[in-house]
Amino acid sequence: MKRLIEKALERKLNSSGCVLVTGPKFCGKSTMCEQHAKSYTKLKTTNSIALAESDPMSALNGERPHLIDEWQKVPEIWNCIRDDLDKDYEFGKYILTGSTTPVNPEKIQHSGAGRISQLSLKPFTLFESGESTGEVSISHLFSDNTVKAIFPADNPARLADIAFMICRGGWPISLKAKKEYAIDVTMNYFNGLFTIENESDEFSAFLKNKDITLLKTILKSFARNISTQAKKTKMIADIIESGIRNKLDEDTFDAYKKVLENLFIIYDMPAWNLNLRSSISIRKAPTHHFTDPSIAAAVLGVIPADLMNNMETFGFFFEDLAVRDLTVYAESINGKLMHYRDSSGQEVDAIIETANGEYCAIEIKIYSEKNVASGIDSLNKFEKKVTSSGGKKPPVFKMVLTSHGGCWKANGDVLVVPITVLRD
């Protein structure tokens, strides 16, 4: 199954000596990169790791592009590649993949700037998995902000389907399974994240000397605060209230959060900044997200029926799903995904800003007439504020991204688009 990021991978292989592809365990990094490599070294056994530690240069041997899978287990490989490219630079010479950041980053002596470029792979988007028709293209909207009208009856996706997609996630192994077993496959994947089978497991070094119960409890707190800007103090209080710990200092919390980030399980979506002359006071607190919403569902034991029975929670989980897809779509058009919130409480769930400074504003809503109207009102207020006080041009387009239903242009200039018709 083709990935949208492959276009960026091909560009980088033709413009840099080495490409580093990171992302969570089992999201398909190795499978994708093998299609673009002519040889590979896999650091997946105790012996292969020991060999590379003894002779790091041996891991670089092979026809180009040469793939080194899970390179971070032997960080010295980074230095070897950097030195090799200094001596004999070729475009597309190496591809590195990694499911974690290096445990000992101090062993990396050089940044790799100018030699090693980076890409981040996420689980499959709905367009990549074939569950979005792709009738509405974000790239196209930046040049022509019109959409083909789609009646709700012509969109087969229903709310229950979205709930299932959230809990199943975009993992290749889950997509491969029959629908009735797919969520079980995702649960098995989640349970395996914190089970160390042997010392060569890529997570073993990160989880060594860590309290797994505390790690899962902190992860639960992030899941309960998914798609929010909850403060650290709030989450620490939540953890103490659970009874796992009588006290938890901020340094310990930060250390465990860093582990979850280094394993590409959670991340913070940054705030969008206006220009320096703006009179608007921007809140820079990041929004908490998961690499895939299914991890948050798994850690809380949430199934599709639970989401259907709690629409408020469903909204937060749907936003996380939408952010996963929007991040991939934005990166595919050389853009970045951010959020907006100012001191008055004005918010926009997602801002896509392209390399030339153009941007769009997106509100993410479970479909209902009330929610769509609320999203339209919020986007219009945002546009008025940033153009009058923020010194910005209007967004190229404004969109209410919905869970299901129809597709149309509302009030003359706001697009209403279901996630199951969206693509890059």
Summarised one tens digit per residue, pLDDT across range 322-372 is: 999 999 999 999 999 999 988 888 899 999 999 999 999 999 999 999 999
Confidence check: pLDDT of 200 > 90: no
Q: What's the whole-number average pLDDT of the chain?
A: 90
Compare 95 and 191 and report the one with higher pLDDT.
Answer: 95
Contact residues for 386 (Cβ-Cβ < 8 A; gap 6+): 274, 278, 280, 392
Please report the domains of the chain, with CATH numbers, ordered by start residue.
5-120 (3.40.50.300), 136-423 (no CATH)
Distance CA 216, CA 224 (A): 12
Supply the pLDDT for residue 109.
45
Confidence tier at 108 by pLDDT (50, 70, 90): very low
Supply the pLDDT for residue 280.
58
Summarised one tens digit per residue, pLDDT across range 158-177 is: 999 999 999 999 999 999 99
Summarised one tens digit per residue, pLDDT across range 287-331 is: 999 999 999 999 999 999 999 999 999 999 999 999 999 999 999
Residue 122's nearest CA partner among 390, 424, 362 is 424
Per the CB < 8 A criterion, the answer to whether 239 and 248 are in contact is: yes
pTM attached to this predicted model: 0.93
Cα angle 45-47-53, degrees, rounded to a multiple of 5: 105
Highest mean pLDDT among 96-110, 198-212, 247-261: 247-261
| Strand pairing report for 422-423 and 136-137 | parallel
Confidence check: pLDDT of 205 > 70: no
Instruction: Give me 367's structure tokens.
Output: 């479909």
345: alpha, beta or left, given left = phi > 0 and alpha = psi -120 to 50?
left
Confidence check: pLDDT of 202 > 60: no
Distance CA 182, CA 265 (A): 20
Distance CA 251, CA 260 (A): 14
Instruction: Give me 39's structure tokens.
Output: 């040889």
